[in-house]
Amino acid sequence: MTQMLFRTNPYLRDSAAVVHDLTPEGGIILDQCLFYPTGGGQPGDSGWISWDTQHLPIATTVKGEGDAIVLVPAEASALPPKGAHVTHEVDWDRRHKHMRVHTALHLLSVAVPFGVTGGQISASHGRLDFDMPDAPHNREEIEEVLNGFVDADLRISEQWITGEELEANPHIVKTMAVKPPKGAGNIRLIRIGEDEDWIDLQPCGGTHVARTGEIGALRVGKMEKKGRLNRRIYLHLDS
């Protein structure tokens, strides 16, 4: 099992590791990894891996078999051998923007309180699809609520619950198309706000900023119809 450094410390930019295995396709599996693998609408991290005198760019990171996390090289090149001691460094500017957008989308799910049917994250913007009959017409009001959350500089924290506890509190699951895993250990919740005064609490495995003030100003973009009961709202970082 790969130790998920991105989960315990999303602000860690580089770390030593040991090559645990190589995939037949040329991917690299480390014993501990600070690169987030593609999932939950969030792109896999990119960056670099170094060993001896070699320096290899990593294009993306994906989930492998079981709990393995696979670094995908950006170019065909020599790979570090199994057992090699390496240093891997995340493309921090890109990762941090993903963190800001991901947390901003959690805020959007509060400002637009409908079931979420899908979502996607990039380094400049994100979008959520909502199960709602009509597209909202109060763009300015939504934007004002979102930037109010940002200005409040609310704390972001996590807690873990069991599958049984999640079943007893189904209201915290906002995603309709993808359900949190059950029966496979504890489930991670992301909380926005203080322990007893939070505005959002939902299952999530992605990376987030420590406080909402770190997101920066937000701008609501295009709102469009995507099916009979599906409405898509785009959200942009202003800088």
The pLDDT value recorded for residue 6 is: 96
Residue-wise pLDDT tens digits, 88-140: 999 999 999 999 999 999 999 999 999 999 999 999 999 999 999 887 888 99
pTM of the model: 0.92
Distances in whole angstroms, Cα of residue 5 to Cα of each of 33, 175, 181, 187, 238: 5, 25, 20, 17, 29
Q: Which range among 59-73, 119-133, 166-180 shows the weakest confidence by mean pLDDT? A: 166-180
- Residue 95: exposed, middle, or buried by beta-carbon count in 10 A (0-12, 13-18, 19+)? buried
Give residue 180's pLDDT band: very low, low, confident or very high (50, 70, 90). low
Q: What is the DSSP string of 136-179?
A: -S-HHHHHHHHHHHHHTT-BEEEEEE-HHHHHH-GGG--BSSSP
Domains along the chain with CATH numbers: 3-90 (2.40.30.130), 95-237 (3.30.980.10)
Look-up of token digits 């807690």 = 159
- Among 50-54, 77-81, 194-198, 204-208, which stretch is predicted with the lowest mean pLDDT? 194-198
